[in-house]
Amino acid sequence: MRTVEVSAPATIANLGPGYDLMGMALDSPRDFLRASLIKSASDEIEVEGIGGDTISAEPDQNSSMVAARAVLRRAGVTGYGLKMLLKKGVPPRMGMGSSGASSAAGAFAANFLLGGTLSEIEVLECAMEGERAACGSAHADNVAPSLLGGIIAILRYDPIKVMKLRPLVGVEVVEVAPEVELAQDKTRLAREVLPASVMLRTVVSQMGSFALLLMGIMRNDPKMAGEGISGDRIVEPARAKLIPGFLEVKKAALEAGAHGCSISGAGPSVFALVPQGMGTQVGERMVDQFSAAGVRSKFSLHKISEEGAKVV
Ligand code: HSE
């Protein structure tokens, strides 16, 4: 029997206008996964930790196991089962890439147990299967940064092509988690509210924001990246109504000095990119503004991290 313990980080997807195309790894929190490869016809997984009781431990519905199984299948391994213990550190359904972290950990652990048989991009494709099991869509903007670290741009889906960008320096990330009622299939619902088509002028504006985001990151210009983050014209307007007080919270963050602010992944958390050292000041203003909308919330401060999934 071979055993490995790995961890994979929380992520923020979309970064405003980069719906399904951009995401970044955070320094904390992380999911931890202990995985063993055993001679067995079946798989077994236990889930514990933050929100662990809300996550399916059915092997064919658990994103860690689905991703790990995809690795074994892809590598042509038969006659072996996986035994796993998933310790959730990334809170589920808050917009911090919880299912992405579990999927990345599962795929990474399985590939490690096989001696690194699959390439990085093959492991990513397997991790995306975990995301599909969790929310019905195999998007990569959480799993890719959770697996590979840094800021990831997804340049193409079919076949998948990604580019790892250097984290912005001189910044911190404020994540504000509001206490709102969450559906079990929150991400699926947050994708269903998006428009099926948009006007050409909206696309033009969105492309401008995306260019600001990408160029801002590549030039390490947080102000430019922040303007891009704040400039989502398609997804954010559709989802804003799912988060009470969102527009006022965003305004408060920008007035308090944030470079940019948007919804974290599919929400309901809201994130702001802020100059290093201003996180507490911006976070407090955002929490106050949520309070004014009758919503309790908490903020946490993070760094963008180069580190993705790793052996513990
Ligand atoms: N790009 C995804 C979305 C991230 O916004 O739905 C959340 O899984």
| Model pLDDT for residues 257-301, shown as the tens digit of each residue | 999 999 999 999 999 999 999 999 999 999 999 999 999 999 999
41: its two tokens? 């016809």
DSSP letter at 39? E
List, by residue range, all CATH 3.30.70.890 domains of the chain: 171-302
Specify the pTM: 0.96
End-to-end Cα, the chain, rounded Å: 18
| Residue 154: pLDDT over 80 | yes
Quick one: CATH architecture of 171-302? Answer: 2-Layer Sandwich (3.30)
Element at 85 (helix H, strand E): strand 80-88
pLDDT tens per residue, range 205-260: 999 999 999 999 999 999 999 999 999 999 999 999 999 999 999 999 999 999 99
Measured CA to CA, the distance from residue 211 to residue 202 in angstroms comes to 14
List, by residue range, all CATH 3.30.230.10 domains of the chain: 2-166+306-311
Q: Which CATH class is domain 2-166+306-311?
A: alpha beta
Contact yes or no for 174/253 (Cβ under 8 A): yes
Contact yes or no for 50/111 (Cβ under 8 A): no
Q: Give, for ligand 1, the residue of 11, 24, 142, 154 to mutate: max count of ligand atoms closer than 8 Å to Cβ.
A: 142
Identify the pLDDT of residue 42: 93
User: Does the beta carbon of 35 lie inside 6 Å of ligand 1?
Assistant: no
CA–centroid distance, 46 to ligand 1, in Å, is 26
**Atom 5 of ligand 1, nearest CA residue:** 266
Task: Ligand 1, residue 239: give the atom nearest the CA.
Answer: 5
Listed in sequence order, the residues at least 6 apart from 128 whose beta carbon sits closer than 8 Å to its beta carbon are 103, 138, 139, 140, 143, 160
Identify the pLDDT of residue 184: 77
78: its two tokens? 């038969």
Identify the pLDDT of residue 183: 78
User: Does the beta carbon of 132 lie inside 6 Å of ligand 1?
Assistant: no
Let me know if 42 is exposed, middle or buried by CB neighbors in 10 A (0-12, 13-18, 19+): exposed
**Atom 4 of ligand 1, nearest CA residue:** 265
Task: Ligand 1, residue 14: give the atom nearest the CA.
Answer: 1
Q: If pLDDT is split at 50, 70 and 90, which confidence band does 32 have? A: very high
**Atom 1 of ligand 1, nearest CA residue:** 20
**Atom 6 of ligand 1, nearest CA residue:** 266
Identify the pLDDT of residue 186: 87
